[in-house]
Amino acid sequence: MPRTNQIFVAGMRQVVGVVPFSQDGEKVLVISSKKDKSKWIFPKGGLETTDSTHQAGAAREAWEEAGIRGRIVSSIGEWDCTTKRKQKPQRIAWFEMRVTECLDEWPERDERKRQWISVDEALRVVSKAHMIGALASSSPMHGKVSPGDYERPLST
């Protein structure tokens, strides 16, 4: 997808994503990576000029990639990282979402799998360090894990 309407600040792509929790906070929804369907990730993507806020962009990405709608309950924090292939810098703002609806139809339904798993299993199977850090730093995980064991955000 062309990135003509995505936002860059000082050459760094601005990315937004959600850690999607069930209403009780006991389960998390993971989706397969488009590039490697054996890898589990959380919905995320570039912040676009049409997004009114970072939270709106994160909610849009959740719908496009995972077919979910929900309530953004908090900001988890921001992480700086680089893309694996091209080593391009990006800043990712992660948000905690409580999922209220799983849709049968969504833009990337033919390109991704999705599944609900326990938060403990998610800590084992999610493939990217910043995503594990976001999960470990989310409110349902407070008191269950030591965030110091995972990649920490730049800010919360």
- Sole residue written with tokens 């906070």: 25
Please state the rounded mean pLDDT for residues 6-15: 94
Query: Using 50, 70 and 90 to split pLDDT, how confident is the model at 129?
Result: confident
The gap from C-alpha 116 to its chain's centroid, in whole angstroms, comes to 14
Residue at 27: amino acid letter: K
- pLDDT of 82 over the 70 cut: yes
Question: What does the mean pLDDT of the chain come to?
Answer: 90
Per-residue pLDDT at 29: 98
User: If you average pLDDT over residues 80-89, what whole number do you get?
Assistant: 84
| 92-124 pLDDT tens trace | 999 999 999 999 999 999 999 999 999 999 999
Question: CA-CA distance, 76 to 134, in Å (whole number)?
Answer: 6
At 23-43, the pLDDT tens digits run: 999 999 999 999 899 999 999
Tell me the average pLDDT across 2-25.
Answer: 91
Interior angle at CA 8, CA 5 and CA 12, nearest 5: 145
Residue 129 · residue 111 · CB < 8 Å = no
Predicted local confidence at residue 53, as pLDDT? 97
Q: Which of 10-14, 30-34, 140-144 is the least confident region? A: 140-144
Greatest mean pLDDT range, 1-5, 69-73, 122-126, 150-154: 69-73
pTM here is 0.90
Q: How confident is the model at residue 14 (pLDDT cuts 50, 70, 90)?
A: very high
Beta bridge partners of 99: 70
pLDDT for 86: 78
| In contact, 76 and 119? CB cutoff 8 Å | no
